[in-house]
Amino acid sequence: MKKWVKWIGISLLLIATSLTVLQIGSLIVQSNYQAEYIDNRLLYIFNMVIAVSLALSLLLLLSLKKMGNSILVVITIMIISVNGYLMYQSNQMIENITSISPDMKQVFSLKKNTDTNEAVYYRSYYRILARPKEALPSSIVTAGEIKWLADDIAVFTYEDNQKHIQQFVGTYGDRNDGLSYSYVGAQIHGQWKGENTVVTASSEGIMVVHHDDQHLFKWEQVHQYGTLAIVLAENNEAVWTIGLGDDFYFDQNTTDPPTGEIILYPATLVDNKIIRLQYQGEAPLR
């Protein structure tokens, strides 16, 4: 047996063994800590990878007869087929809505019950494991896009059973080093400008002027997610999301204005492009 063949076989065996340990560990964690795979399909995908890796390693390391090779291949195909079917059936009951952040460090995860259309937001731990954090306030009838406004801000747009457009935001960090809770509305106080758009945050609320459309959102219409984003709503429907850019910085202990950019994102199922805005100065007096 050539040395490189032996090393490949051993590597595949180690992969199969490691994933088997992971599968067993995930069952223990789920039982004791109510944590599970961030996407249910991972259970079946890992089973298929284990089967393929183990089969290939045995074929490379053992001198099996032709009949033995055939039996091994048939068993592997059967395991893959069964897990593929189980994965399909699982997704018919619980639809997994997931997205990985641009820097590959965070995972936005929702699990939707296909019978009730109700969904639960899962917070990731150790990348592939997650625990339920909160239920979405309204059911998902039509799922839209998941858009990452920054490496730590994910916005999910969807239509609920009242045909209202809603936005749910997952945030995974802060811009204050986690020292204290901060309010986005207070941090962005002032006037911001972008392409054909002006956002003004004042004591009255947040005014958004986009092309020829102008609308003032009172503070009771502003809903904060974490310390990085807010959703502006009207008549039980989301209209805009505002997120703090990766380079945003505001020191609440000084009178210095904020630096960096904020990001405005419309609540539409299609053609929802982000708008980047820069700080222009204090909010003009009315």
pLDDT digits (tens, 9 = 90+) for 15-50: 999 999 999 988 888 878 788 899 999 999 999 999
CA 268 – CA 240 distance, rounded (Å): 9
Answer yes or no: do 163 and 256 share one domain: yes
As a whole number of angstroms, the distance between CA 15 and CA 6 comes to 14
Q: What is the CA radius of gyration of the chain?
A: 25
pLDDT at 180 > cutoff 90: no
Does residue 202 share a domain with residue 269? yes
With respect to residue 107, please indicate whether it lies within any of the assigned structural domains. no
* Average predicted confidence (pLDDT) for the chain: 90
Residues 82 and 154 in one domain: no
> Hey, is 63 helix, strand or coil?
coil
Residue 180 belongs to a domain: yes
Last residue of a domain, one of 36, 62, 93: 93
- 81 and 177 housed in the same domain: no
171 Cβ contact list (under 8 Å, min separation 6): 152, 153, 154, 225, 226, 227, 228, 229
Q: Over 90: is that where the pLDDT of 68 sits?
A: no
One domain, residues 148 and 87: no
Percent of the chain at pLDDT > 70 equals 97
Closest alpha carbon to 275 in 223, 219, 199, 200? 199
Q: What predicted TM-score, i.e. pTM, was given to this entire model?
A: 0.86
Phi, psi of 211 (to 5 degrees): 55, -120
Is the same domain home to 89 and 144? no
Tell which of 93, 124, 151 closes a domain.
93
Tell me whether residue 158 is in a domain: yes
Do 204 and 286 form a contact (C-beta atoms < 8 A)? yes
Q: What is the mean pLDDT of residues 121-149?
A: 91
Mean of pLDDT values over 182-187: 89
Q: Is 238 or 253 the better-scoring residue by pLDDT?
A: 238
CB 159 within 8 A of CB 269: yes
Looking at the structure, do residues 148 and 77 belong to the same domain, yes or no? no
Same domain, 149 and 258: yes
User: What pLDDT is recorded for position 62?
Assistant: 80
Question: Does 252 map to a domain?
Answer: yes
Structural domain range at position 79: 3-93
| Residue 188 confidence class, pLDDT cut points 50, 70, 90 | very high
pLDDT band at 128 (very low <50, low <70, confident <90, very high): confident
- Does residue 87 sit in the same domain as residue 166? no
Q: Give the confidence band of 70 by pLDDT, cuts at 50, 70, 90.
A: confident
pLDDT band at residue 179 using 50, 70 and 90 as cut-offs: low
Domain tally, the chain: 2
* Of 61, 93, 125, the domain-final residue: 93
Alpha carbon distance 261, 277 (integer Å): 6
Give 174's pLDDT tier (boundaries 50, 70, 90): confident
Question: Does one domain contain both 156 and 243?
Answer: yes
DSSP string, 137-175: SS--SEEEEEEEEETTEEEEEEE-TTS-EEEEEEE---S
